[in-house]
Copies of this chain bind each other. A is one copy, B any other.
Amino acid sequence: MIDASDASLPPAAEPVVSVEAIQPDKTPRTERGKRTLRRLLDAAAAEFGERGYHEASISGITQRAGAALGTFYTYFDSKEQVFRALVDHMGRLTRQWIADRVAAAPDRITAERLGLEAFITFARSHKDLYRIVMEAQFVAEDAYRAYYRVFAEAYRRNLALAGSRGEIRPGADEERAWALIGMSVFLGLRYGIWDDSRPAAEVAAAVADLIAHGLTPAMGAAQTGPATGPKP
């Protein structure tokens, strides 16, 4: 469900000359208008999510919303604009979802596991929006970059902070941030969108081990013997 208030731009602190004088504001004024806008946003998310940006049509959106074609343009300037509104919406939704689920983590390593699990869970329960964000790379690249830049910067800060606290080894936090985001995105795709039969917690735990300890065998436990071969 889309929050209708997201369609409007952030209020720009009392402009001297209202922009609406030139470009009429498309914010709904009545209750009916608000309901219609919400229906259109939900319909747009479904249409874009199912058919992709280019296959999606405005008439498909308005049909889903039970509105006439022209009504769309009462609330949006163009096909691309709704799409951008949805990408933007998704950004805030994702950050909130993950932040909520990571807040209680006692340390960074735990936070990584919970964050990963939250990401996969989120992808599963918002497949439409997830696809929209991914497609933004080709439809609204600036929005796409902005989406991940915000993520990466926050991630980098968290890693730096954890490093200074001794919770993790200090290191190249920017590269780490992008690497960890890439992990999440792909795992979200593979275990969230393509196949959601595996428990998210299980996948997250498996990968959290990789994030915590890497691939290197534990020192002193170096096994050179034959741990090989299938069980008979």
Interface residue SS majority, chain A: helix
Indicate which residue in B175, B187, B194 contacts A187 across the interface (CB closer than 8 Å). Answer: B175
Given contacts A138-B52, A190-B178, contact A214 B217 (CB under 8 A): no
CA distance A211 to B222 in the complex (A): 18
Among A33-41, A87-95, A201-209, the one that faces the other chain is A201-209
Question: Closest Cβ of chain B: how far from A114's Cβ, in Å?
Answer: 14
Given contacts A138-B138, A211-B214, A213-B213, contact A183 B194 (CB under 8 A): no
| Chain A residues numbered 149-187 whose CB sits less than 8 Å from any CB in chain B | 152, 159, 162-172, 175-176, 178-187
CA distance A165 to B222 in the complex (A): 10
Indicate which residue in B168, B170, B218 contacts A169 across the interface (CB closer than 8 Å). Answer: B218
In the complex, residue of chain B having the shortest beta-carbon distance to the beta carbon of A53: B138
Given contacts A168-B216, A210-B214, contact A186 B175 (CB under 8 A): no
Question: Closest Cβ of chain B: how far from A139's Cβ, in Å?
Answer: 8
Indicate which residue in B167, B171, B210 contacts A171 across the interface (CB closer than 8 Å). Answer: B210
A78 at the interface (CB under 8 A from B): no
A135 at the interface (CB under 8 A from B): yes
Question: Closest Cβ of chain B: how far from A43's Cβ, in Å?
Answer: 20
CB-CB under 8 A from A84, the residues of chain B are none
A223 at the interface (CB under 8 A from B): yes
Which residues on A are within 8 Å of B, measured CB to CB?
52-54, 108-109, 112, 134-135, 137-138, 145, 152, 159, 162-172, 175-176, 178-187, 190-191, 194, 203, 206-207, 209-218, 222-225, 227-229
